Amino acid sequence: MISSNRCLLFLLALVLAAHWGALSWLSQQARYGQALVLMPEPLFTRMIMPAPAPVPAPPRRREASVRAPETVAVAAEEIAAIDTASSEPNVAPASPDGAAPGVPEPVAPAVASPAPSEPSAPSADWPPDTRVSYQLKGYYRGDIYGSARVQWQREQERYQARLDVSLALVLRVSMISQGVTTPAGLVPQAYEERFLWDVRRMTFADGFARLPDGTRLAQAQPQALQDTVSQFIELSHRFSSGREALSVGSPVRIWLARPQGIALWTYDVVAEETLQLPELGPVQALHLRPRPIENPAGVITAELWFAPGLQYLPVQVRIALGEGNHVELLAERIEQGAAPADAVPEPRKP
């Protein structure tokens, strides 16, 4: 009888614990908003390697400045003959039948080189599904090592971009952006970031960025507003499509929204550098360094390196966490799905 009562109490405790867990989960969902519905994992079919550097043209051979004596003599005779011919009247001989003097045949005009064509409008085509895998190392109260990846995928006009970070196979951080693609760029609609048990979400609608409880961020949504993850894809596409030139000395500006607020970030393109990547080898990349922003919400900043020979993808990211703490990501592998031209259309249903 006593054992039976203990079993009943044990079952009752399990039921109460399950109900408490369910209520806690529902409370969290109500507080942070509904979780994002993730896209299925894409299929990657090829590896991307750095494009070879252009081969420089061979230097032109300079003509000898000193001529041989016999060459000088021949040149003098040619000049004298030209002077004699130019001093005689330029009269065309009459034709044998007494007709008017013949008219010299006209010389065919030189073909003018075509004028340089105006630059075409930037392409709105977006890249195929892409995953960049990184080695991670840094310092946070001690040396840290791990891995990370940035993944981009698209279904018609909808997109999903995510950043996943794994430290020591225990600590995991994920950031996910979802929205739509347009000829003018990415338009985020929802953003979610997870760090341990902390979940933060944000939505973009009606010209404003909102927190799950309906709170609008400090200011109206500026044009081309991005989030922490979508900025990597947006900037890469701006550079690769020609919408924005990437060159040393030119600033790059982008509006970023996080749950802490909205700010305009300005990156200075400070140098073109050769990076030694773990598996991809030496790669040329342009280094973007952020300027300090007014009223920063936190101390986290990120320097970015984009590689023109690798579709302007971010091949290195250095995140400063304040007080000497930092994390550095180095690209080691780039995978892509089938390009649009290689994609096999689905068979039509009868």
Tens-digit pLDDT profile for residues 105-150 = 444 443 333 343 333 344 458 899 999 999 999 988 889 999 999 9
* Exposed / middle / buried, residue 164 (Cβ in 10 Å: 0-12, 13-18, 19+): middle
* Separation of alpha carbons 274 and 327, rounded Å: 20
Walk along the chain (350 residues) and give the pLDDT tens digit of each residue.
556 666 565 555 555 555 454 444 344 444 445 678 999 999 999 999 998 755 555 656 654 444 444 444 444 455 454 444 444 444 444 444 444 444 444 444 433 333 433 333 444 588 999 999 999 999 888 899 999 999 999 999 999 999 999 987 678 889 999 999 998 899 999 999 998 788 899 999 877 888 888 888 866 677 789 999 999 999 999 999 999 999 999 999 999 988 888 888 999 999 999 999 989 999 999 999 999 887 666 667 899 999 999 999 999 999 887 778 889 999 999 999 987 554 444 444 44
Global pTM?
A: 0.69
Cβ count within 10 A of residue 162: 20
Report helix, strand or coil for 234.
Answer: helix
* Separation of alpha carbons 313 and 233, rounded Å: 8
Q: Let me know: does 45 contact 338? Beta carbons within 8 Å.
A: yes
For the chain, how big is the Rg over CA atoms in Å?
Answer: 34
Choose among 284, 334, 324: nearest CA to 305.
Answer: 284
What pLDDT was estimated at residue 347?
Answer: 44
Q: Break the chain into its structural domains and give their ranges.
A: 122-336
The percentage of residues in the chain with a pLDDT greater than 70, rounded to a whole number, is 64
Region of residue 141 (phi > 0: left; psi between -120 and 50: alpha; otherwise: beta): left
What pLDDT was estimated at residue 277?
Answer: 94
DSSP of 65-104, one letter per residue? SS--HHHHHHHHHHHHHHHHHHHS---PPPPTTSPSPPPP
* End-to-end Cα, the chain, rounded Å: 68
* Separation of alpha carbons 209 and 215, rounded Å: 9
* Separation of alpha carbons 292 and 15, rounded Å: 53
What pLDDT was estimated at residue 141?
Answer: 83
* Separation of alpha carbons 44 and 320, rounded Å: 32
For 69-117, the pLDDT digits (tens) are: 444 444 445 545 444 444 444 444 444 444 444 444 444 443 333 343 3
The percentage of residues in the chain with a pLDDT greater than 90, rounded to a whole number, is 43
What pLDDT was estimated at residue 103?
Answer: 42
Cβ count within 10 A of residue 158: 13
Q: Let me know: does 204 contact 180? Beta carbons within 8 Å.
A: no
> Token pair of 309, please?
């020979």
With a CB cutoff of 8 Å and minimum separation 6, the contacts of 152 are: 127, 129, 130, 131, 159, 160, 161, 233
Q: In the CATH hierarchy, which top-level class contains the domain 122-336?
A: mainly beta
- CA distance to 19, 22, 106, 146, per residue, from 14 (Å): 9, 12, 105, 37
